[in-house]
Structure 1
Amino acid sequence: MGNREDLLVGAKKCLYERGYARTTARDIVAASGANLASIGYHFGSKEALLSEAVIESFEDWGTELRRILDEATDPSIDTAWRSVTEFFHSQRPLLLASIEAFAQADRVPGLREQLARAYERARLALAAPLGLDEIGEGDEKTVRLVGSFHLALVSGLGLQWLLDPEGAPNGDEIAQAMRVFVDAVNRAGAAAEGGAAPEGGAPEGGAPEGGVPLAATAD
């Protein structure tokens, strides 16, 4: 690797061990084996280097999350969200570093735009393994909405796990809550149309007992 790559590797190591706010230029130099002047030469500033390291870490985080969802043997909310909550345990340091970076989005030039692009890629990545054949794979707007919905859940759950891991819901509890939510939406829709939802919850053709398809949340 060259100095630029070494600096990025060192910066990501510092993000994991020290976080975004506490990492200094000298920390990065010590972790990368590069010299202090190379930070300015390759990135312009420590903040710009850390911003790029955050984006790369964010991409790595998303790739791993996508892999977990792709490898789920049961394509249901239960299995997927159980895997996501377990994932937060191993990725807590980087999750915390990303939250610290978000707080700097208006202060570090270009960081907001970089994060926005990373979020857009995350929306599409989260939508891909969610059983979209049931809601129309060719409908780009719907695909993006489903990805945005699940990204909002991932982001919110991540904050809960950072602040209150004991009180944060586990995968099974999230699945149960989503069943209640989907059932309430279906009943409200039926009432608005002058009809009534079938006894027992979701309408005909809805979620099977024992596992709600992830794509059902797009209704």
Structure 2
Amino acid sequence: MGHREDLLAGAKRCLYDKGYMRTTARDIVAASGTNLGSIGYHYGSKDALMQQALLESIEGWGEELSAALFAAGSAESAPLDRFEAIWTRVIDLMESHRMMWAANFEIIANLDQLPEIRRVLAEAQDEGRSGLVSIFLGVPEEGNEHLTRTVGALCQALLMGVVSQWMFDPDNAPTGRDLAEGMRTLMAAKPVG
């Protein structure tokens, strides 16, 4: 690996070990075995490097999630069975990415201080929603703006909610079966009143 790759790997380690806000350029240099000057040379600034580390971490999780979820949800399954299988797999993957999620929650809590990160994450939001539509419905990611806005937004809201519950109390967070049963109940509910 060259300095550029070493810096990125070191920044990812720092992101997970220290968090986004507490990581200094010196921390990255220590974790990467490089020097301070190489941060500016390769990335322009520590903030640009940390932003790249964050985005690559999120993309890596997304790619791993996509692969696992396509394998989990058989197209021949009933929709709620597929829904349960997919959410069970999402929850299974959370432990291996706990530090990435912790870093994301830290960033969410500090978005007012990170306008560039806010902008980048806002731009990536539709891509994430589109990917979730593709996973859950098995449709191509392109050309499905309505599904992205509706189904993708619902899946993204569920994802963030499940992740936060899991981060707070993994032993009592919902399972894929809980989510599917909740969906069944909601869909069969008769209005009260």
Query: Normalised by the size of structure 2, how large is the TM-score?
Result: 0.85
Moved more, 79-88 or 47-56: 47-56
Q: Which of 106, 113, 119 is the aligned partner of 2:125? A: 119
Judge conservation of contact 1:55–1:118 (CA < 8 Å) in 2.
no
Cα deviations by residue, 1:146-199 (Å, 9 ceiling, x for unpaired): 111101111111111111212211111111111112223xx45xx9xxxxxxxx
Gapped regions of structure 2 (runs ≥ 5) = none
1:167 aligns with 2:172: yes
Partner of residue 83, structure 2: 77
Moved over 6 A (4+): none
Residues in 2 aligned to 1:103 and 1:48: alpha-carbon distance in whole angstroms:
19
1:1-219 equivalence runs, <5 A = 1-74=1-74, 75=77, 76-132=82-138, 139-184=144-189, 187-188=190-191
Residues in 2 aligned to 1:131 and 1:20: alpha-carbon distance in whole angstroms:
34
**Pairwise CA RMSD of aligned residues?**
2.2
Residues in 1 aligned to 2:107 and 2:40: alpha-carbon distance in whole angstroms:
20
Query: Normalised by the size of structure 1, how large is the TM-score?
Result: 0.75
Residues in 1 aligned to 2:52 and 2:117: alpha-carbon distance in whole angstroms:
8
Percent sequence identity is 46
Residues in 1 aligned to 2:44 and 2:137: alpha-carbon distance in whole angstroms:
43
Tell me which amino acid in the other structure corresponds to 2:181.
Q
Instruction: Work out the number of aligned pairs and report it.
Output: 184
Gapped regions of structure 1 (runs ≥ 5) = 192-219
Residues in 2 aligned to 1:22 and 1:143: alpha-carbon distance in whole angstroms:
35
Which structure is larger by alpha-carbon Rg, 1 or 2? 1
In the TM superposition, residue 98 of structure 1 has moved relative to its aligned partner by: 1.2
- Identify, as 1 or 2, the structure richer in helix: 2
Partner of residue 198, structure 1: none
